[in-house]
Amino acid sequence: FVRENRQMAIKKLYREDVLQMLFADSDSEGEYLPFGNDDRSSSNRASPGTSLQDSDSEGEYLPFGNDDRSSNNRDWIKRFDEPVGYLGEKDLTSAAPLDFLSLFLTDDFWNLITNETNRYAHQFLNSQQLKPNSRFHNWYDVSVSEMKAFLALHLCMGLVEKAEIEDYWAEFWPIYTPGFGKVMYRNRFEIILSFLHFANNSEYVGRGQPGHDRLFKVRPVIYLIIPLFSAIYGPLKELSLDEMTIAFKGKSTLKQYNPKKPDKCGYKVYVLSEASSGYVLQWSMYTGQNADADADADLGATHLIVRQLMAQYTGKGHEVYMDSYCTSPAIANELANNDTGMCETVNYKRCGMPRCLRQTELPLSKGDDPVSKQSNTGFHEINRPVCVDRYNTFMGGVDTAGQRMKTYLFPHRSRKWYNRIFNAILSISVVNSHIIYSKCALGLHKPLKAFIQDIITALLQGCSKRESKKTGRPSVEGGGMPQRLTERHWLCVADDRPDCVVCSDRARSEGRRQTKYRCSQCGVGLCAVPCNERYHTLKNYKLCHLDT
């Protein structure tokens, strides 16, 4: 299949054809047939400019490939000039920011992370012997409302970035932020963060066994949220397909290294987004596993990735913009035969590329000045190819999504590899919900930061801070009677020589006084007379023996 396409491409494309389609104007005559068979007459074929014409023009958009429909039948073309994407029958014109986020973080999502977090906590506590001072002794099951408060603080830490998690509860005046302590205790937040889980470990399939999934620990979240991106929102005509890196430097077999990326170490993700807004439509993480490898042995991995991401958007008149990493004649033919346009940079070394694209065959080499002509004004007029102009305009959709996602991303590292992926999906959901809000809400639109602040406020509603269990003896403050004044007490002989809690004062010279008796109920040292009576009858019992 690839060999036949390669021979066809070499036969049809020569240097003049390449230059003609690069610099073709929408008003010029002639036909543009890059790849794929086409049995239409010349009058029904797309002109060189129609395949890359602007979305506001009145002409028909005919992508490359087979098409036996007449030029007068335009009902098959999807309209892209609507002001907003489709959102079903739900009216969101007056909805709150949390309502837009709830399109992706549904009740099933909150129940999932709450139940799996509690399940993992019980599995861990039943299988581990905790140290006496471990804070895990204070664990109790988290509720849905408390989980919403936890993720609200999670989003807050993206707005207020500090070096360590402990700094958000620190009382040192330059970094003091009292809001975190009013919502949740630090120990409670860190315990929930330690037990945060998304899958049942008892269902894990080990490596080398059939059904093993490298993304098992985060797969339920992917299945719940990612399909909603494309189900809720209908994109405009231009789409962008590119890679995205989720930064991670910990130990993981999924980690990739790319020195040309800003985040050199991390997880590689293939993303399909709307070119103009950066709305993420499809999201597929690279794991090295290919379930369709046997069925499509002749196709490359990038071909399968493009097919997977574009599955819901082929045959609808879209244009997809990609870089040379995902480009091949086989991909172009497949998209063209499904009424989908493609604009991309190419690598002449890829299999199936025409020989006329080799550097030795091109009239210009890398670094040469562009072709221009002298005008009467003294300036050089340069013909800019239409495809290059549109590629520069619409290729950056995924980069826009990545930039907005990382602006208020949870800043703290984690040793658990799946937490980074969860944070990225959560951040993409927030950005996508803000894009829908900007297109649907009436009046002045809020920026992303104010949008997140409203979400945080809404998530904290209905959540009350649970009082911690008090330790030690009850305080006399508040008007309550101390326990030492209301119960019956008995003296016993102490094994050691404790200080008398009433008449001993080590802060003063010769002020210390030891005794051989101790109250069996209170556990403090007391002289039999008169300190025992004074301690159990007076609120202000302290009286040093030097003052008597």
- Give the three-class secondary structure for 291: coil
- The parts of the chain modelled with pLDDT lower than 50 are 1-16, 18-19, 21-86, 88, 293-295, 474-479
Whether 16 is covered by a domain: the verdict is: no
Task: Look up residue 273 and give its two tokens.
Answer: 């987004």
Q: What is the pLDDT of residue 445?
A: 84
Q: What is the pLDDT of residue 480?
A: 52
What distance in Å separates the CA atoms of residue 218 and residue 203, rounded to the nearest whole number? 13
Give the residue from 36, 23, 96, 32 showing the smallest Cα distance to 65: 36
What distance in Å separates the CA atoms of residue 285 and residue 222, rounded to the nearest whole number? 10
Per-residue pLDDT tens digits for 201-243:
999 998 888 888 899 999 999 999 999 999 988 899 999 999 8
Q: What is the pLDDT of residue 51?
A: 34
How far, in whole angstroms, is CA 257 from its chain's centroid? 20
What distance in Å separates the CA atoms of residue 491 and residue 389, rounded to the nearest whole number? 93
DSSP 246: E
What distance in Å separates the CA atoms of residue 13 and residue 310, rounded to the nearest whole number? 26
Q: What is the pLDDT of residue 123?
A: 93
Whether 496 is covered by a domain: the verdict is: yes
Per-residue pLDDT tens digits for 403-428:
898 889 888 888 888 999 999 999 99
Whether 61 is covered by a domain: the verdict is: no
Task: Look up residue 272 and give its two tokens.
Answer: 């399909």
Give the residue from 321, 292, 331 showing the smallest Cα distance to 34: 331
Task: Look up residue 195 and give its two tokens.
Answer: 């037990």
How many structural domains comprise the chain? 1
Residue ranges of the alpha helices (H) in 376-529? 386-394, 397-407, 417-440, 448-459
Contacts 24+ apart (CB under 8 A), 77-84: 77/317, 78/316, 78/317, 80/55, 80/236, 80/237, 80/317, 81/55, 81/56, 83/439, 84/439, 84/440
The answer to whether the CB of 396 falls within 8 A of the CB of 57 is no
Task: Look up residue 538 and give its two tokens.
Answer: 């007076």
Q: What is the pLDDT of residue 94?
A: 76
Task: Look up residue 81 and give its two tokens.
Answer: 């000039």
Give the residue from 265, 238, 247 showing the smallest Cα distance to 396: 238
- Give the three-class secondary structure for 187: helix
pTM for the whole structure? 0.69
What distance in Å separates the CA atoms of residue 463 and residue 354, rounded to the nearest whole number? 64
Whether 416 is covered by a domain: the verdict is: no
What distance in Å separates the CA atoms of residue 72 and residue 241, rounded to the nearest whole number? 32
Q: What is the pLDDT of residue 429?
A: 95
DSSP 11: H
Per DSSP (E only), the strands in 189-276 are: 238-247, 256-257, 265-274
Whether 113 is covered by a domain: the verdict is: no
Mean pLDDT estimate for the chain: 78
Whether 508 is covered by a domain: the verdict is: yes
Whether 89 is covered by a domain: the verdict is: no
Whether 513 is covered by a domain: the verdict is: yes
Domain with 499, as residue range(s), is 484-547
Please tell me the number of Cα atoms within 13 Å of 99 on its side-chain side. 11
- In single-letter form, the type of residue at position 304 comes to L
Rg (alpha carbons) of the chain, rounded to whole number:
34
Please provide the size of the chain in residues.
548
